[in-house]
Chains A and B, each alone.
Chain A
């Protein structure tokens, strides 16, 4: 399953499938990106990050891809599990600002058994 972030805020996949969550950013000065997972009633949980000098980074079952040419970021989750159901946010840090993160609207991922 695949989402386009701001335009399709929901994504439903079957357990075991791979999920792709997309995020577009607009600021060329953005130099650091983070994906967070937020479950209902909880705070955002760090998943994986990537710097602008990289194109790809892998974690456990997750991969983040960064395409600076088109200002696009994606999170791939392999073998999606019911416990992956949550809202996923991409956040960016812009080189010109101190510390603050800019968050996208989020994508609701629902995993069906």
Chain B
């Protein structure tokens, strides 16, 4: 049973370019979360999505950042016109729906992350 998958694992962009980060949740999971981690810090919540819906985007900067989780395909975190301060590790997590074998929707399982470097 594959875990959460993220790609690319490493991404290098120049200032002003766009970054697209992809996340495929665990099989059967319908909740996706994006977090950002700066060096030697904890993870900071960005956005919570279900299929075709943004549930909570309170942790995401209002400008340049957007996220989607379409009906088909992976969740995408898009950062437009990247700046050096966007350099960080971006992690995606997923959790199951409430009716999947009684599993808790609260438990989040993380992917390996995408390390974004802005030159």
Contacts and interface: CB of A to CB of B under 8 A. Distances in A.
Do chains A and B interact in one complex?
A: yes
Interface in B92-117: 95, 104-113
A43 B110 contact: yes
B119 interface: no
Interface stretch (B11-19, B37-45, B70-78, B80-88): B37-45
Nearest to B47: A100
Contacts of A100: 33, 45, 48, 56, 58-59
Contact of A102 (B33, B45, B105, B111): B45
A14 to B, nearest CB: 24
A89 B112 CA distance: 16
A93 B45 contact: no
Given A34-B107, A98-B56, A89 B33 contact: no
